[in-house]
Amino acid sequence: MYYILKFIVMRLYAIIKIKLPVFCVSVLFLSMSAGIQAYAQASDMPEMPESFNEFKGTVVDKASGNPLPFTTILLMGTNISTVTNTEGEFSLKVSSLLKNGRISLRYMGYKNRVVSLSELLHEKTRIEMEAIAVELPEVSVISKDAKALVEAMMDKKGENYANDETQMTAFYRETIKKNKTYASLSEAVVDIYKQSYASYKTDVVKMYKARKRTDYSKVDTLVFKLMGGPFNSLYLDIMKNPSMIFTDEMIKNYEFSFDRSTRLDNRLIYVVDFIQSVNNNEPLYFGKLYIDAENLALKSAVFKLNIQDREASSRMFIIRKPLNARVYPIEANYRIDYIERDGKWYYGYSRIELGLRINWKRRLFNTTYYSTIEMAVTDWEKAGTEKPANRKDRLRPSVIVSDAASGFNDPDFWGEFNVIEPEKSIETAIKKIQKRLEKKE
């Protein structure tokens, strides 16, 4: 299990909330971990346009009207991009010099849409996308063996994925809910120095700007913290970090089969289902791989962790817990999407959904925590002669977003930076947490 445990993408951090004055508690938390600062020096900020326009829309299925979450939105002719939230909504900020541009919308199993920015002048413009009829697998030209196709996908990593370092700007968000109520919301804009996919070097992350709000009245005697910050999202890049699932050794632990093929960008996409072998009892994964039929590149992976063995799966997540509690996961869902540009594929978006249940000794009711971690690349370019951030400016893989990060009161906090449009539930939660905290001050 070492090759799985070493990735903090699967770790959570829980510590006992000590009954001390508020100031002392805050100091205790911050001294236990590296915190993300709430601001950055002006000299460290990337160059941004002097003026920009913001365009908003909602992407839906043409037939049913249902929202299409995680739709990729690309400003054509640039590397500026974003994704829709779970309600199909998006916001895209564009330099005023590009206000006459067009966006391309891409969603698995649907025809691409191209929309002029001038069509998005109305608030939350509705954009309909038309589904494509699914097809039977067309894999005879490659192999009738789904496992062989996955092995070929991994072997062609060097051909399909970026061989150069890239400089990326990304938006990161993590939320924590206790039962059905949001208790903590964290957001950040980060600079990522993405290493070549042929390199074993770890990606470098630098913070530009961050904000956080936590309502500790909602977390009772347990402080639930996520360790890893943006590194959680980067470790989910399974083509850069195949040891999460598909090393040569681990691939033997899975069974593969073909599902119905689909299309994206007018290209055939093979869909491969995978599940752990019946004679393997370790907590491994099951889900779907979406593989480009032309070049065998992984476009997307959507999968879950097998959590039937509560004790074993719990050890993969929990670093520290109260002595009077049993903690085990109730869900662990993952998603990774890649973007293709000029024949090469790049990390585009990832999402992690985790659920933990805490059974307390001598208590009638248990507690359930849900956390969502997502990050979307909003712009990028080849690194060229640029160097990664200095060591003192880099985030550490053990980072926890600092409780000191603030800024939810400022509607213009993000300025020209593109972000993932918050769902209505998140917007409501921000307002509620803010009001509760203001009453205490």
Residue 255 near residue 275, CB atoms below 8 Å: yes
The predicted pLDDT at position 30 comes to 25
Pick from 77-81, 172-176, 397-401: least confident: 397-401
57-66, 135-144, 207-216: least confident range = 135-144
Q: Is the pLDDT of residue 240 over 90?
A: yes
- Class for domain 60-129, per CATH? mainly beta
Sheet of 102-106, strand order = 81-83, 72-75, 102-106, 113-116
Domain segments of the chain as ranges:
2-52+135-440, 60-129
The token pair that represents 15 in the structure block: 């510590």
The span from the CA of 80 to the CA of 376, in Å, is: 11
Section 366-390 average pLDDT: 87
pLDDT at 182: 86
Q: What is the pLDDT of residue 407?
A: 63
Structure confidence by residue, pLDDT tens digits, 252-295:
899 999 998 999 988 899 999 999 998 888 889 999 999 999 99
Q: Which of 96-100, 209-213, 321-325 has the lowest mean pLDDT?
A: 321-325
Beta-carbon contacts of 376 under 8 Å, excluding residues fewer than 6 positions away, are: 81, 82, 83, 170, 171, 348, 349, 420
Q: According to the model, what pLDDT value does residue 427 have?
A: 77
The pLDDT tens digits of the residues spanning 227-237 come to: 678 888 999 99
**Distance of alpha carbon 173 from alpha carbon 398, whole angstroms:** 17
Q: Is the pLDDT of residue 226 over 70?
A: no
Across residues 298-316, what is the average pLDDT?
A: 90
Does the pLDDT value for residue 16 go beyond 80? no
Global pTM value: 0.85
Residues of the chain with pLDDT > 90: what percent? 42
Calculate the average pLDDT of the chain.
80
Report the pLDDT value the prediction gives residue 21, as an integer from 0 to 100.
28
What is the reported pLDDT for 178? 86
> Which position has the higher pLDDT, 422 or 300?
300
Q: Which pLDDT band, with edges at 50, 70 and 90, does 195 fall under?
A: very high
